[in-house]
Amino acid sequence: MERLLRDLVAGLVFAAFGAAAIHFVREYPLGTAMRMGSGYFPAALGWILIGFGAFLCVRGLWRWVPSPRKAKQVGGLDFVRDDRAPAPAPAAAWNWRELTWSVRPVACIAASMLVFGFVMPRLGLIPALVPMFFVAALGGREFRWREVLILTIVMTAFAVGVFVMLLKLPFQLFPGFYLV
């Protein structure tokens, strides 16, 4: 099941990108093979991505569907070296509890970056870093707010020292307050 989902999700992601590429390529001139327009290359890539996506979906299903007749010739579509990658994924079951655990770190980290990007140009570096640290830290397995507070203070001081004072990046620290 795990393997089926891995192939299916990967295939669907690739196919989706391919389909999007082809959908939006209509606005750009295709040209001919000899004089390729700006749409030719991305359109070709779009079709290639759809092809790979479809292949991965079919392969995933093919390997998954159990059939005594197929068991012998499973090598047929199996020519690709298996997912032997030292993949970051543990052999976790895809139950809901595990799924929330899979999604939580990435959601927290992405959210913390969004917060940083939103606050930084408006209020400055220090007001942006404080919520960034707290939101990011929520993505960890344990959240100890006292520790996060100390970490935030130390690292914010470090960032001001290195990025603003040493590398002289023209960042606003607080609204209307600049060092450089």
Span 2-61, contacts to another protein by CB under 8 A: 5-7, 9-10, 13-14, 17, 21, 24, 28-29, 32-42, 45-46, 48-49, 52-53, 55-56, 59
**Vertex 34 angle, CA 28 and 38, to 5°:** 20
Quote the least distance from Cβ 66 to another protein, whole Å.
19
Dist. CA 159–CA 25, nearest whole Å: 43
- What H or E segment, with its residue span, contains residue 177? strand 177-178
The SS3 call for residue 172 is strand
Q: Which is nearer to another protein, 34 or 65 (CB)?
A: 34
* 161 belongs to the binding site for another protein (CB under 8 A): no
Residue for token digits 């089926």? 4
Site for another protein in 124-143 (CB under 8 A): 125, 128-129, 132-133, 136-137, 139-142
Question: Which of 26, 65, 66, 84 lies at the binding interface for another protein (CB under 8 A)?
Answer: 84
* Residue 81 near another protein by CB under 8 A: yes
**CA distance linking residue 57 with residue 79, whole number of Å:** 15
Q: Minimal distance in Å, beta carbon 69 to another protein?
A: 16
Place of tokens 């690739």: 14
